[in-house]
Amino acid sequence: MPETILVSACLLGLPTRYDGSAKRNQAVLDWLAREKLIPVPVCPEQLAGLPTPREQTRFSRGDGRAVATGNGEVATFSGQSMNECFLRGAHITLRIARITGCQRALLKERSPSCGVHQIHCNDAMVAGVGVATALLIDAGVSVQSEEDLPVTGG
């Protein structure tokens, strides 16, 4: 039976980003085909019920793990806390992983929901994970970003 993998919807070419754009990544599509993986597209921020386009967000304190433990904050650029909303989207994302049997995820680097190694906190790019990423990792899902994929020659 083919293996399913959760994938950030924007990487697959769906226009889910805050500004209504996509971030289609051909290397991701090629890798999925090569590995014979069935992608399950998710956008934690849309799953939270946020509109597209929507106001851009970033962390003002900590990262996704800090938000999940009540010690961080993700906020819009105009200063509105989005913790509750992002946690809702992260929980729904985790539920979808379970329903579809995904034990792996490939998520968009540096997003406040999907970041795997880095996130934006205030004006800096720092080490950390997005809110959905934190919940997935804690639930035992193996998470990587598009930047972790092997570079193929040729």
For the CB of residue 1, give the shortest distance to ligand SF4 in the complex, in Å: 26
For the CB of residue 45, give the shortest distance to ligand SF4 in the complex, in Å: 4
- H helix count then E strand count, the chain: 5, 8
Binding window for ligand SF4 (CB under 6 A); candidates: 3-11, 28-36, 66-74, 146-154: 3-11
For the CB of residue 59, give the shortest distance to ligand SF4 in the complex, in Å: 14
Residues in the chain: 154
**Interaction mask 6-45, ligand SF4, x per CB under 6 A:** --xxx-----xx-------------------------xxx
Q: Which residues are within 8 A (CB) of 79 and not within 5 positions of it... i.e. 6 or more apart?
A: 60
Rounded CA separation 120/106 (Å): 19
Rounded CA separation 107/110 (Å): 9
Token pair of 15 as six digits = 């226009």
For the CB of residue 17, give the shortest distance to ligand SF4 in the complex, in Å: 4
User: Tokens 């997005």 belong to which residue?
Assistant: 130
Closer Cβ to ligand SF4, 23 or 66, answer by number: 23
Q: Does residue 118 touch ligand SF4 according to CB under 6 A?
A: no
Candidates 54, 58, 65, 108; binder of ligand SF4 (CB under 6 A) is 108
Residues 67-86 touching ligand SF4, rule: CB under 6 A, are none
CB atoms within 10 A of CB 138: 13
Rounded CA separation 112/59 (Å): 7
Interface contacts to ligand SF4, rule CB under 6 A: 8-10, 16-17, 43-45, 108, 111, 113-114
